[in-house]
Amino acid sequence: MVDFAKLRILEIGTPHMAATFPGQTRSFVPAPVKPESGRTKLSIANLTALRAELRAPDLSLIVTGPGQRNPWSVSLLMRALFDRRAWQGYPRFGPAIAPHLLRFPVAAPIAVIDTADYPYINRADLFLLSRCRFYFKRELPPDYWRLFTKTAHGELPTKRFRKRSRLRHLLDKVRPISLGLPHPATDFLTTGVETSKDKTTDVFFAGGVEGLSTVRQAGMRELAALRDRGFRIDVPEGRLPRDEFYRRCAQAWIVWSPEGFGWDCFRHYEALACGSVPLMNQPSIVRHQPLLNGIHALYYDPEPGFLTAAIEHALADKDRLRAIARDGKAHVLAHHTIPAIAKYVVEMTLAPPI
């Protein structure tokens, strides 16, 4: 059992530990920070301080996000020169270089939290899989070998590669992780959202469609057809303020939550926190503490007509929807808040080897 009170954590580029253990975490972040925040900007100038912290003898755990890009690549240089965010105080080289300091000896076990949209590990981050105790991956394919597609292997890893690759011994380090509730809204969602008992909408969806997943484009056509048949479909144009988004989630029986660039989505968990039921296309990933079909959420197959059928069937039994919303919300608050995810990472990483 981990004694959370005695932890001393160093966090690089992720929000989980500083949010959960603020007095015990030294956090280096890629965005500008206020002096009173207790966090340190991941600039080139602060890499020396980070290197010293990595070797501190009282350190319990190191948590890092992936660098995602080779810090010495031409593409990163171009981004640093021409991306306006870089000129607004958002460093490029510091966040890219920082994880590579873990190539050197450090004083504590390493956990990697990779919440990127893509279902693979970048070539520039493969060393982290070797160095870490566990690699927590959001978009984790059921066949873990696919993490190396077009990175460690030129194509889909072959049978020969899987048998002979030194990487096969590293796959035991891979674990799923969820996005969970978004950090800035966690307190509001867990305490400030009033669940609407009088639902005014059958289905609510707010999100991008064009240039995103074809699952969304196909689903929008089915929602339009349902609206024409008299179903109460709420699909606002443009981006909603956060409070309004949550209010309209709470007013709906069902929140349609299709995949975007990745399958996992904040909306899955936000809908339940608001007291509604998320309806998602079938998952394509291995999940941490999954939302179970008919218990915590609803799912549909992506082929034409199945979204419509799922909505019609669900709305025919409002008592069942109320039960799913209730049990799903309890599940989210237990397992998919930032503190719950942080404790999962800590307990898994610091548990004695079996």
Domains of the chain are 4-180+338-350 (no CATH), 183-335 (3.40.50.2000)
Phi and psi (nearest 5°) for 197?
-80, -30
pLDDT in tens, 72-95: 655 655 555 555 555 444 556 778
Angstrom CA distances, 286 to 141, 237, 243, stand at 6, 33, 31
Alpha carbon distances (Å) from 295 to 190, 224, 298, 315, 321: 20, 27, 8, 15, 9
Residue 164 pLDDT grade (very low, low, confident, very high; cuts 50, 70, 90): confident
Round to whole Å and give the CA distance between 286 and 331: 17
pLDDT digits (tens, 9 = 90+) for 57-68: 999 999 999 986
pTM of whole model > 0.85?
Answer: yes
pLDDT at 87: 43
Structure tokens at 39: 């966090």
Half-sphere exposure in the Cβ direction for 313 (13 Å, CA): 11
245-296 pLDDT, tens digit each: 999 999 999 999 999 999 999 999 999 999 999 999 999 999 999 999 999 9
Distance CA(88)–CA(266), nearest Å, equals 27
Q: DSSP secondary-structure letter at 200? A: -
